[in-house]
Amino acid sequence: MQAFIDWFMSTIGQYISPELSVFLVSMLPLIELRGGIIVARLLNMEMWKAILFSVLGNILPIPFILFFIKKIFHWMANHHMGGIVDRMLKRAEKNRAKIEKYGFWGLTLFVGIPLPGTGAWTGSLVAAVFDMDLKKASLSILLGIILATIIMTTISYGVF
């Protein structure tokens, strides 16, 4: 992670504020809020700012994924990117049983527990691809982001 921070700060980071850096890192798939809070801590950002910019960055892509991912996948498949779509659908399918077993709370925990391959991006992908109720999925993902924020802030900032 330190190598990523060093690279980011020596390239893009020298032209934008630490707050915008944390916001952008939190938008990235796989890194998401978990990485954003770590980046904020490494940049010695105040905890409240870390939480604010990480959460906002992590939330921003979610509606686009929930509403448009099927159309994007269809377009990608028609433009010689079917392999990428297949990999993403396999990833979603791999996590389907975990989420369906526990429903609403399963999705919340899937998004909130910071493990590799979990998070708001993948949770939104699963919810959209498997036609989960958008209101319930959105609330579940939001609660998962809150849980991830609590866990990562506690780890990164040593709250307790």
Query: Mean pLDDT for the chain?
Result: 88
133, with CB counted inside 10 A (0-12, 13-18, 19+), is exposed
Q: Domain residue spans in the chain?
A: 2-57, 60-147
Percentages helix, strand, coil for the chain (3-state, rounded to 5) are 80, 0, 20
Tell me what pLDDT residue 160 has: 60
pLDDT digits (tens, 9 = 90+) for 22-50: 999 999 988 899 999 998 998 899 999 99
| Placement of tokens 């910019």 in the chain | 53
pLDDT digits (tens, 9 = 90+) for 77-126: 888 888 888 888 887 787 777 777 888 999 999 999 988 878 999 899 88
Instruction: Say how far apart CA 115 and CA 137 lie, in whole Å.
Output: 20
Tell me what pLDDT residue 93 has: 80
Instruction: Say how far apart CA 22 and CA 43 lie, in whole Å.
Output: 9
Instruction: Say how far apart CA 137 and CA 122 lie, in whole Å.
Output: 12
Q: Are 38 and 72 in contact (CB under 8 A)?
A: no
Tell me what pLDDT residue 135 has: 93
Q: Are 55 and 23 in contact (CB under 8 A)?
A: no
Please state, in angstroms and as integers, the Cα–Cα distance from residue 35 to each residue in 12, 39, 51, following that order.
Answer: 16, 6, 12
pLDDT digits (tens, 9 = 90+) for 113-146: 988 878 999 899 888 888 889 999 999 999 999 9
